[in-house]
Structure 1
Amino acid sequence: MKARSRLRSVFYSAVTVLVALVVLEIGASWLMLGYYRATHQQNFETYDTSYLSVVNLARRFSRLVGLSEPAMVLEETSPSPFFRADPRLGYSVAPGAYTHSYARRNGFTGEWEYFRNKVTINPDGSRFVGAPRHGKPTVFIFGDSWVFGNGVPDELTFAGRLYQALPDWNVRLLALGGYSLTQAWLTFERLKEIGPDDIVILGYADYFDVRHVEAPSRLREIESWLKRINQPIAPFQLPKATLAPDGRVTMGTIDQRCAMLGDYCSGPDPSQEEMTDVTSALVNQIAARSPAKVYLLHFAGSPDNPVRRQVSPKVEVIAAVRSEFDSVVQDDIIGFDGHPGPFWHYAISRKLLASIAWTP
């Protein structure tokens, strides 16, 4: 009887421990999910590589108190640095061939693993998508890291796919991570070669609005992201757009380091109405100066974004946010990074091919 009683006691204790672990895991999972949503992390496996939230929370706590290994550099480029200061655009990239690497810890083996990707920058600062086709019209594409194709090989960006699908056209990809329509506006000022037979595609996402005015939340985001991947904050002077009383865009600069700006980064953002007006003015003034047809490729955000209604009749909006496809197209860089992967780029290229009359 005593042996049976002891066995029953061990069994109940084991069940109690198991139930407690399940409850703890559920609670930890809710905490981690709340954290991911609050910080807009889609590529969570890069930062919390175990599929058990309790393990991830323990690892974060041990790192916080200095008991675990130092944090790895999660993104780096060779040769380095990739970005260089640019007096006009804030920063740019020197021509050359680069290898961009992502690192993460494997959730099963515990070993670090890497994904490496080729990036080629042409002498004019554009990303390589194919050899020049002399005497052919050009598609000029502007945008940020999504448009640039962070984590995607040169030939698999949507610009590269357009180049492959349109043998009678050149394609110039004038995008870069962190850019917005301010860099497009500034670049457009010095592009003298755009003609009436060319096409201009302005990549745009809802999150560009805070970039155009360099809102406090945007500078905090830059600081947080660089800290997360363990990279220093460079002293870049970013372009900052404002509207003059007559509605014209004026461009100033602001240091991207919050530490150099006093209380600016702790302040509120401009109103959404003001930021929408700045975005619309940037688009409309580019279109007013362009001899070529201008398209606004709205690739992320809400289909109800008021910018779509405020652009001039000279601008044709291409609706390409996630909900405007009949299939899910939002892949990523195989779990290493949250930027869209080759399937998204393919879908965007198909959308552009179907939306534009490609008559050279």
Structure 2
Amino acid sequence: MRTRSRFRAVLYSAVTVLIALVVLEGAASWMMLVYYRATDQQKFETDDPSYLSVVNLARRFSRLLGLSEPEMVLEQSSPSPFFRADPLLGYSAAPGVYTHSYARRNGSTGEWEYFRNKVTINPDGTRWVGAPRPGKPTVYVFGDSWVFGNGVPDELTFAARLYEALPDWNVRLVALGGYSLTQAWLTFERLKEIGPDDIVILGYADYFDVRHVEAPSRLLEIERWLERINQPIPPFQLPKATLASGGGLAIGYIDQRCAMLGDYCRRPDPSQQEMTDVTAALVNQIAARSPAKVYLLHFAGSPDNPVRRKVSPKVQVIGAVRSEFDSVVQDDIIGFDGHPGPFWHYAISRRLLDNIAWHP
């Protein structure tokens, strides 16, 4: 009798443990699913190779708490450095031909794997999209890393696709990672050659607003990104736009290193209303000074962004955020990086070709 009771106790204990493990795995699977959906992560098997969500969740928590080696993602340029200090724009890309490499440890094998692409910077600091076409009007495309095409080869950026589709036009890609409409305005002021037959396309995303005012959250974002890719923080002086009296703009400069700014990075960001007004002022100031037609390409964020309603009637807004396509166009750099890939660049080029009156 005692033997049978002891057996039942062991059996009940084993069943209880098994049920607890099943419930725990179910809860962990639900949490991981929510995380994947919230981060729009599709190629999760590279970082979370186990079939047990409990194991994957434990690995991520241990990284978060610093109990295990953090996930390492590297970005490198050859030759290096790619960026250089610029007294007007904060920084710029040095002319030359580069190989940009993305590296990560494969979650299954532990080995490093690489993704490489070619980046060509012209002598004037623009990215190469094709050979000049003398005597033809020019499309000037301003923007940040999405517009520049981080992780995308020269020939596959949407600017290069425009060049290929428009044989009667030149295209100049005046963009770089981390830029915003502040750099677009400063560069625009230098481009005295823009004429009435040309076209100006201003790439804009909701996340530009904090960049225009160099909000504390933006500087902290720069620090976190550089730490993630294992790079030091360069002593660049970034342009900062503020509203001046009469609705104009004033441009100052601020060190991008929080350590040099006292308690600045612990302060709250300016109000969204103020940042929206600064963004609209940048767009409208460019439009007021431009002899060419100006288009605002809103490529990321909400279609209800108030900037769209605040821009001058001289500016045509081209909506190209994710929800404004009738199909999914948001690919990435095959899981190595979150920047959009060639399919997105193709979709943006088609949106521009369909919404601009191309009369050379």
1:225 matched to 2:225? The reply is yes
Give the 5 Å matches for 1:56-75.
Answer: 56-60=56-60, 68=68, 72-75=72-75
2:121 maps to a residue whose letter is: I
Of residues 297-306 and 99-108 in structure 1, the stretch that sits farther from structure 2 once superposed is: 99-108
Q: Please tell me whether the aligned partners of residues 237 and 256 of structure 1 are also in contact (alpha carbons under 8 angstroms).
A: yes
Does the 8 Å CA contact 2:128/2:173 hold for their aligned counterparts? Answer: yes
| C-alpha separation in 2, matches of 1:103 and 1:9 | 52
Amino acid in the other structure paired with 1:99: T
Correspondence for 1:341: 341
- Normalised TM-score (structure 2): 0.90
For residue 147 of structure 1, what is the aligned residue in structure 2? 147
Shift of residue 106, structure 1, vs aligned partner: 2.3
- Following TM superposition, by how much is the alpha carbon of 1:100 offset from its aligned partner in structure 2, in angstroms? 1.2
* Cα distance, 1:70–1:37 mapped onto 2, change above 3 Å: closer
Change over 3 Å in CA distance of 1:258–1:16 after alignment to 2: same
**Contact conserved, 1:47 with 1:104, CA < 8 A, in 2?**
no
Secondary structure of the corresponding residue to residue 246 of structure 1: helix
1:111 aligns with 2:108: no
Report matched runs for 1:98-247 at 5 Å: 98-247=98-247
Q: TM-score normalized by structure 1?
A: 0.90
2:73 and 2:105 in contact (8 A); partners too: no
| Residues 49, 106 of structure 1: 8 Å contact kept | no
Cα deviation code 1:287-343 (max 9, x no counterpart): 111110000000011111111111111100001111111111111111111111111
How far 1:346 sits from its partner (Å)?
0.5
What value does the CA root-mean-square deviation take over the aligned residues? 2.8
1:236-283 CA-partner distances (Å, limit 9, x unpaired): 111000011111111001111111111111111111111110000000
Which deviates more from structure 2 when the two are superposed, residues 1-10 or residues 307-316?
1-10
Supply the distance in 2 between the matched residues of 1:236 and 1:43 (Cα, whole angstroms): 35
CA offset digits 1:90-118 (Å, max 9, x no partner): 11110111111112222333322111111
- Of all paired residues, the percent bearing the same amino acid is 84
- 1:339 is matched by which residue type in structure 2? H
* Alignment pair present for 1:306 and 2:279: no
AA aligned to 1:77 is: S
Give the Cα–Cα distance (whole angstroms) in 2 for the partners of residues 296 and 7 of structure 1. Answer: 75
Point out the more displaced range, 1-10 or 235-244.
1-10
**Residue in 1 aligned with 2:293?**
293
Change (3 A) 1:152 1:22: farther
Gaps of 5+ in 2: none
How has the CA–CA distance of structure 1 residues 270 and 63 changed in structure 2, closer, same or farther, with 3 Å as cutoff?
A: closer
Residue identity opposite 2:133 in structure 1 = R
Alpha-carbon distance in structure 2 between the residues aligned to 1:72 and 1:350: 36
CA–CA distance in 1 between the matches of 2:108 and 2:13? 29
Work out whether residues 46 and 103 of structure 1, in 8 Å CA contact, stay in contact via their aligned partners in 2: no
Once the 2 structures are TM-superposed, how far is the Cα of residue 231 of structure 1 from its aligned partner?
1.4
Shifted more, 165-174 versus 56-65: the winner is 56-65
Q: 1:91 to 1:34 in 2, by over 3 A?
A: farther
Matched residue, 1:50: 49
Distance 1:113 1:142, change over 3 A: same
1:325 alignment partner in structure 2? 325
SS of the counterpart of 1:139?
strand
